[in-house]
Amino acid sequence: MTVLHEIADVKRSPEEVYDYVSDFTTTVEWDTTAIAARKLTPGAVAVGTKFEVECALPVGSITLLYTVKTLKINTLIVLSGSCRFFDIEDTISFSEVPGGTRIDYRAEFFFKPLMSTLAGLAKQGLESMGRDSVAGLARALKDNFPVETPTSTDKVADKLVLPALSLFSRLGYKLGRKRFHPMTASIKSKHMVITGASSGLGYATAQELARRGADLTLVVRDRVKAEKTVSDLQAETGNCNIHYELADLSLMADVDSLVERMKKRGRPIDVLVNNAGALFNPRSETNEGLEQSFALLLLSPYRLTEGLKPLLLMASSPRVINVVSGGMYSQALNVEQLLAPDTPAYSGSEAYARQKRALMVLTQQWAADWEGEGIVVNAMHPGWADTPGVRSALPQFRKLTRHVLRSSEEGADTIVWLAVATEAGSVSGKLFLDRAEHTTHLLSKTRGSGQETKKLMSFLASNKYAIDVAQRASVSAQT
């Protein structure tokens, strides 16, 4: 038997340290040998929960299957693991010390018969691995990481356009992942609102935030989908603090009704994720008479965010996350084109891109206007992700790119980072891809003017037609 024993003190509470370490999927963020980790057992982490961890070797890799043997809340975690070379038992205890928590890590390796002769040779390497891993855990829990700014390679790619577009692929995510920092900030019981949460990016975001302990309000259009989404998420994560609100966000009457319901409850909102979206081909109008892409992609997040602002201000460090699209890089802000006319030249893709460009401009304006009020507003784009929306609206694009598309989880990763990471709360008004700040323009022709931004804000604030329709619908419902 080979024994490793390391101790580290961190300036975090035992509860925060326990919550982070007990979900062993976090090992990839602090264990120097871990390449990938996933939870195999649905539900909350408990005795019997299984994890699979892939670890690097000098040549190749091994896969360890871990099972939780003992859990004492905020105090002790014991896991037993096995692979083809050895069995292992990890005992991790947490005790309160002045100013923080002491982590006591002990690992016992039991080499299998044919490998026992290598135990002595491996001891020095294992001891080094143990020191590095516990030091990595302490570094992760220190949670003092910078916001990644564009590298010189990113800047060159942005100027050349095509290399920048290649970063939207799965390869771009894999390259970006190499510079990801751990996310150890606790979001337990923080209230987060996610629109368009029943599938794709929204569902992937909800799943990860629920796993980390957030209280979620999911905005979904269909009751059956909403109930299934909540049930699935609760079963998968063990988090029961997940609820839904029904609203068709392309209808301003529904948006305003949702705002009023949430304001009446009065619960502060820590994070608002404006994710709901769709690409409409051919052109269509809502039953309120608005072009659907404009209503859902721009006017809806504008009215929802403005309406929920009082609840955001009630939170200690509120954040708004707007999901945009790489398609916006093809368009400049032109307020006159936001309400696209019904002509043979109408393009759903162009209409979608115009609304996303306007949402990016709106993000920057909100960040500037609300800086003194403490609301952080940022935008992200997910790259090219293989979501149900892409499959239904852009079948030809998916056919051509299916081998390089990201998963929904990879596309949603930056939304989660913007909602969770401590460093993400230190910047506002930026665009992020793969947790790094990126340019908002690839082409000089898409750069707008301050005058057009003022025109946009005035247009959204004084869209009397939509307001009148919503008010009439509200009055009609009450009578």
Give the integer Cα–Cα distance in Å for 234 and 201.
18
Give the integer Cα–Cα distance in Å for 466 and 393.
26
Of 18, 66, 244, 352, which is the active-site residue?
352
Amino acid at 226: A
Find out whether the peptide bond into 395 is cis, omega within 30 degrees of 0. Answer: no
105 given a catalytic annotation: no
With 0-12 / 13-18 / 19 or more C-beta atoms within 10 angstroms meaning exposed / middle / buried, residue 125 is exposed
Tokens 């009457």, residue?
253
Tokens 């957030």, residue?
214
* DSSP string covering 218-285: EEES-HHHHHHHHHHHHHHH----EEEEE--TTSHHHHHHHHHHHHHHT---SEEEE------SS--B
* DSSP string covering 114-159: GGGGGHHHHHHHHHHHHHHHHHHHHHHHH---PPBPPPHHHHHHHH
H or E stretch at 72: strand 61-72
Nearest to 167 by CA among 415, 406, 359: 406
Cβ pair 10, 142 in contact under 8 A: yes
Six-digit token string for 144: 């003092």
Give the integer Cα–Cα distance in Å for 350 and 362.
18
Give the integer Cα–Cα distance in Å for 214 and 187.
6
Supply the residues annotated as catalytic: 352
